[in-house]
């Protein structure tokens, strides 16, 4: 489905709850308002695909922000306007505290600069989050001078939180039925503000995993990776039910309970609490806070004073890494950047999923969407609606986790599986294949945590992460992408040399030889897991590359088969767009580097005609002209035959390499950045999922 068709279907299926996602940037200007606040307003006036209505609605929202949003450096002017007019409506973040000396709730306005403003008890009872963290609201503020100097002139006349007031789950389920799985994922990715065309299936799933803390009670997520991948955005701007705090700016009293007054902390009022900039080896940490947090992450409860209390809040920890993944795997571990108090096996073992931030693209303009998606607050209400539901039963109909999986591992895997099923299949209508893909993903995320525990704490032993197909009784193992990409650095985690455990003595430990059908997309059946170079390619062998795998290059995949060839034919019907022609150029570069001095090779490309408005012929001519006079004689033909579908490489030395994706094996990256390493080093690029099969004619 094209983006235009997806946008149209979304507007038809969810009328009034869909908005063009680039509009918030258009109207935001200098207003430091969260996205969910802007989209709440846009949803009132721009929830349509009618351009004229959108234009009028944008103007209306801009006017509302101009008239009512309080810019901090203009707060004095706004206060003066309120005094002159007697009352005025403002958009601001309001927090409330109890003044027990006079038995009065008092509001503080973040931007307006007002403090100790009396507010009616009813607002606090209806919206308890006013007491912790604050709530963005539309507020009518009144000014009335009193002769009694003890009585302030300011008061709250009315207050309305900026959020969707109701959510109809049945209508949501009905709308979901009109989308395939792939279309639904793309709609959700667009709702998060991203352009799904630039993300592979695995990366989309990683993005959606960031939402699990919003729909799963007591879910513990950690994401560590490079800067600029949008780790904290989803927790700061996506939902009014989540709060983002700095990793070093929270106290035991603020997070759990204030012993001096008994007030419940953040965990009692927010669905998701995210700790930004959580990484940093030199950061100081409150040991008592860490100890209470460990108990909460494990048992959903915390003890302060004489009482033990529980709460449903999920935790998300996000931070940056400085080192490359192979460096951490060789010298330390994937948690090396955590502060010392948190670089502790007891804390780490309580994490349900390690989201590998290095697999998520650094955000750039083209990765942001101008398509349609859910109004953020509507989507946030859907996630909140599902928090108390348990979808783990869906996977148990088809699969069973191995006995060797511990109770803590099982909980982590089931919570991740349940969360993704809620997001993708809220109607419990996932197929067995869909469920298995999600289950494997969930197991991998927990295994990534456990693999590092083995490195950090010698008391942790190798453990199998295996599940059984209930229909066939077949054991199926799961490995992490790091294990498949860097086997020489992850042998211990993969269970090399570890025998059977538990009651099941028929299956080897994780990483042992299971049937190929059990390995599924995780198998790599040709030599050379990294792909930088392949020691030997055997005719009839196959390579299965997982999505987001790195270390692959045309040289590593093809060089051995192409060396010494005098004629090479490349057949690919989809050499149409710039990046596809650039792939051909890089392939020819590799072939040229294989030639001995004085040798030449003829390379022919067969591709299909271009149905789209791209400059296919001109680009291919430029490539041909570029290699004129070199050791590579390049020619191409453009066929109109619609039957040209297969993708393969053949040589006059008898090799035939079948390519299910042709040369288009790399994820999109920023080709405009002259200093982007991915432009010149293929091994630095993340790959799409693909397969390569090596065949050779008898007698060669």
Domain identity same for 247 and 352? yes
Compute the distance between CA of residue 253 and CA of residue 273 in angstroms, rounded to an integer: 15
Domain identity same for 589 and 448? no
Per-residue pLDDT at 536: 73
Mean pLDDT of 152-160: 93
Contact 435, 394 (CB under 8 A): yes
Residue closest to 502 by CA, chosen among 404, 410, 402? 404
Domain identity same for 329 and 180? yes
Any domain includes 67 = no
Least confident of 211-225, 295-309, 319-333, 497-511: 497-511
Instruction: Compute how many other C-beta atoms are within 10 angstroms of the C-beta atom of residue 602.
Output: 14
Range of the domain at 102: 72-161
Mean pLDDT of 298-307: 81
Instruction: Compute how many other C-beta atoms are within 10 angstroms of the C-beta atom of residue 660.
Output: 15
Compute the distance between CA of residue 687 and CA of residue 362 in angstroms, rounded to an integer: 15
The strands making up 648-651's β-sheet, listed across from edge to edge, are 542-545, 690-696, 655-659, 648-651, 567-571, 601-608, 632-639
Domain identity same for 370 and 451? no
117 φ, ψ to 5°? -90, 120
Residue at which a domain ends, from 382, 411, 443: 382
Mean pLDDT of 227-231: 90
Compute the distance between CA of residue 66 and CA of residue 68 in angstroms, rounded to an integer: 6
Query: Tokens 């995780």 identify what position?
Result: 522
Any domain includes 37 = no
Domain identity same for 152 and 182? no
Per-residue pLDDT at 305: 64
Residue closest to 266 by CA, chosen among 109, 128, 127? 128
Domain of 194, CATH number, reads: 3.40.50
Domain identity same for 578 and 499? no
Domain identity same for 127 and 80? yes
Domain count of the fold of the chain: 4
> Residue 634 contacts by C-beta under 8 Å, 6 or more apart in sequence?
588, 603, 604, 605, 623, 624, 627
Any domain includes 47 = no
Compute the distance between CA of residue 651 and CA of residue 700 in angstroms, rounded to an integer: 11
What does 207-219 look like in DSSP terms, one character per residue? HHHTTHHHHSTT-
Domain identity same for 474 and 558? no
Any idea what DSSP says for residue 525? -
Compute the distance between CA of residue 588 and CA of residue 596 in angstroms, rounded to an integer: 15
Burial of 258 from C-beta contacts in 10 A (0-12 / 13-18 / 19+): middle
Q: What percent of the chain lies above the pLDDT cut of 90?
A: 62
CA atoms within 13 A on the CB side of 72: 7
Compute the distance between CA of residue 639 and CA of residue 50 in angstroms, rounded to an integer: 40
Per-residue pLDDT at 46: 87
Provide the token pair at 97. Answer: 């505290």
Per-residue pLDDT at 519: 34
453 pLDDT band, cuts 50/70/90, is: very high
Q: Write b or e for each residue in 523-561: b if 16 or more Cβ atoms lie within 10 A of its Cβ, otherwise e.
A: bbebebbbbeebeebeeeebbbbbbbbbbbbbbbbbbbb
Mean pLDDT of 459-480: 94
Interhelix angle 201-209/181-191, rounded to 10 degrees, is 50
Residue closest to 467 by CA, chosen among 478, 458, 459, 457? 478
Per-residue pLDDT at 35: 82
Is the predicted pLDDT of residue 581 greater than 90, yes or no? yes
3 pLDDT band, cuts 50/70/90, is: confident
Per-residue pLDDT at 699: 60
Mean pLDDT of 641-658: 88
For 345, the 3-state DSSP assignment is: helix
Any idea what DSSP says for residue 179? S
Q: What is the pTM of this model?
A: 0.80
Compute the distance between CA of residue 37 and CA of residue 39 in angstroms, rounded to an integer: 5
Any domain includes 55 = no
Mean pLDDT of 420-434: 97
Burial of 487 from C-beta contacts in 10 A (0-12 / 13-18 / 19+): middle
Mean pLDDT of 227-256: 87
Per-residue pLDDT at 669: 87
Compute the distance between CA of residue 436 and CA of residue 433 in angstroms, rounded to an integer: 5
Domain of 96, CATH number, reads: 2.40.50
Any domain includes 423 = yes
* Residue 473 Rama label (left phi>0; alpha psi -120 to 50; beta): left
Per-residue pLDDT at 258: 81
Any domain includes 430 = yes
pLDDT in tens, 663-685: 999 998 888 888 889 999 999 99
Residue at which a domain ends, from 382, 413, 446: 382
Domain of 649, CATH number, reads: 3.30.870.30
257 pLDDT band, cuts 50/70/90, is: confident
Per-residue pLDDT at 165: 61
Any domain includes 64 = no
Which sign, positive or negative, has the C-alpha torsion 446, 451, 456, 462?
A: positive
For 161, the 3-state DSSP assignment is: strand
Any domain includes 363 = yes
Q: What percent of the chain lies above the pLDDT cut of 70?
A: 91
Domain identity same for 547 and 506? no
Provide the token pair at 119. Answer: 């507010």
pLDDT in tens, 55-108: 999 999 888 888 899 988 899 999 999 999 999 999 999 999 999 889 999 999
What does 592-625 look like in DSSP terms, one character per residue? HHHPPTT--EEEEEEEEPP-SSS-HHHHHHHHHH
Is the predicted pLDDT of residue 172 greater than 80, yes or no? yes
Domain identity same for 107 and 178? no
Domain identity same for 687 and 550? yes
| Residue 26 or residue 456, greater confidence | 456
Is the predicted pLDDT of residue 610 greater than 90, yes or no? no
What does pLDDT average to over the chain?
Answer: 87
Residue at which a domain ends, from 92, 126, 161: 161
Domain identity same for 609 and 644? yes
Instruction: Compute how many other C-beta atoms are within 10 angstroms of the C-beta atom of residue 608.
Output: 20
Per-residue pLDDT at 377: 85
Provide the token pair at 106. Answer: 């008092």
635 φ, ψ to 5°? -140, 155
Q: Quote the strand ranges of 321-457, DSSP E.
A: 353-356, 372-374, 399-401
Mean pLDDT of 20-24: 88
């Amino acid at each position: 489905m094209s983006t235009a068709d997806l946008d149209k279907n979304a507007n038809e299926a969810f009328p009034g709850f869909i908005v063009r996602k680039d509009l918030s940037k258009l109207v935001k200007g200098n207003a430091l308002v969260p996205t969910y606040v802007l989209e709440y307003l846009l949803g009132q006036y721009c929830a349509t695909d009618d351009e004229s209505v959108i234009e009028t609605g944008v103007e209306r929202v801009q006017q509302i922000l101009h008239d009512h949003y309080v810019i901090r450096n203009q707060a004095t002017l706004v206060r003066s306007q309120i005094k002159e007019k007697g009352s005025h409506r403002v958009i601001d973040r309001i927090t409330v505290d109890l003044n027990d000396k006079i038995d009065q709730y008092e509001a503080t306005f973040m931007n307006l600069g007002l403090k100790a403003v009396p507010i009616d008890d009813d607002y606090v009872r209806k919206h308890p989050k006013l007491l912790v963290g604050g709530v963005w609201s539309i507020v009518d503020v009144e000014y009335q001078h009193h002769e009694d100097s003890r009585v302030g002139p300011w008061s709250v006349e009315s207050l309305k939180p900026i959020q969707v007031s109701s959510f109809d789950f049945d209508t949501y389920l009905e709308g979901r039925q009109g989308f395939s799985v792939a279309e639904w994922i793309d709609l959700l990715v667009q709702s998060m503000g991203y352009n799904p065309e630039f993300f592979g299936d695995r990366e989309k799933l990683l993005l959606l995993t960031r939402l699990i803390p919003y729909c799963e009670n007591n879910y513990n997520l950690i994401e560590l990776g490079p800067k600029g991948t949008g780790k904290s955005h989803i927790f700061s701007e996506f939902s009014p039910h989540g709060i983002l705090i700095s990793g070093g700016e929270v106290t035991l009293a603020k997070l759990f309970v204030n012993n001096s007054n008994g007030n419940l902390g953040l965990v009692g009022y927010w669905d998701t609490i995210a700790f930004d900039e959580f990484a940093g080896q030199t950061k100081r940490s409150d040991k008592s806070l860490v100890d209470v947090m460990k108990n909460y992450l494990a048992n959903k409860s915390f003890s302060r004073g004489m009482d033990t209390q529980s709460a449903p809040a999920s935790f998300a920890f996000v931070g940056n890494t400085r080192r490359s993944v192979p460096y951490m795997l060789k010298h330390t571990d994937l948690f090396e950047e955590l502060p010392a108090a948190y670089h502790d096996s007891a804390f780490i073992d309580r994490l349900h999923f390690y989201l590998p931030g290095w697999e998520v693209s650094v955000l750039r303009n083209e990765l942001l969407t101008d398509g349609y998606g859910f109004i953020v607050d509507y989507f946030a209400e859907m996630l909140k609606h599902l928090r108390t539901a348990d979808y783990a039963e869906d996977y148990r109909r088809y699969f069973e986790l191995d006995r060797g999986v511990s109770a803590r591992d099982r909980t982590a895997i089931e919570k991740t599986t349940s969360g993704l099923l809620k997001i993708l299949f809220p109607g419990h209508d996932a197929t067995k294949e869909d469920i298995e893909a999600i289950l494997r993903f969930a197991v991998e995320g927990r295994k990534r945590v456990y693999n590092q525990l083995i490195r950090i704490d010698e008391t942790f032993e190798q453990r199998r992460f295996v599940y059984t197909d209930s229909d066939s009784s077949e054991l199926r193992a799961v490995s992490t992408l790091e294990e498949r990409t860097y086997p020489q650095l992850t042998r211990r985690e993969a269970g090399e040399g570890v025998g059977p455990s538990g009651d099941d003595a028929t299956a080897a430990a994780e990483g042992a030889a299971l049937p190929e059908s059990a390995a599924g997309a995780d198998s790599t059946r040709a030599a050379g897991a990294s792909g930088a170079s392949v020691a030997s390619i055997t005719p009839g062998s196959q390579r299965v590359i997982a999505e987001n795998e790195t270390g692959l290059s045309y040289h590593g995949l093809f060089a051995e088969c192409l060396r010494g060839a005098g004629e090479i034919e490349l057949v690919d019907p989809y050499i149409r767009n710039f990046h596809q022609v650039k792939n051909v150029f890089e392939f020819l570069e590799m072939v040229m580097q294989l030639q001995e001095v004085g040798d030449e090779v003829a390379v022919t490309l067969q591709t299909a005609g271009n149905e789209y408005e791209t400059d296919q012929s001109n680009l291919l001519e430029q490539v041909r002209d570029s290699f004129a006079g070199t050791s590579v004689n390049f020619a191409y033909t453009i066929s109109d035959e619609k039957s040209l579908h297969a993708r393969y490489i053949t040589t006059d030395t008898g090799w035939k390499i079948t390519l299910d994706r042709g040369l288009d094996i790399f994820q999109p990256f920023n080709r405009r950045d002259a200093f982007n390493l991915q432009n010149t080093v293929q091994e630095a690029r993340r790959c799409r999922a693909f397969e390569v099969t090596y065949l050779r004619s008898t007698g060669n």
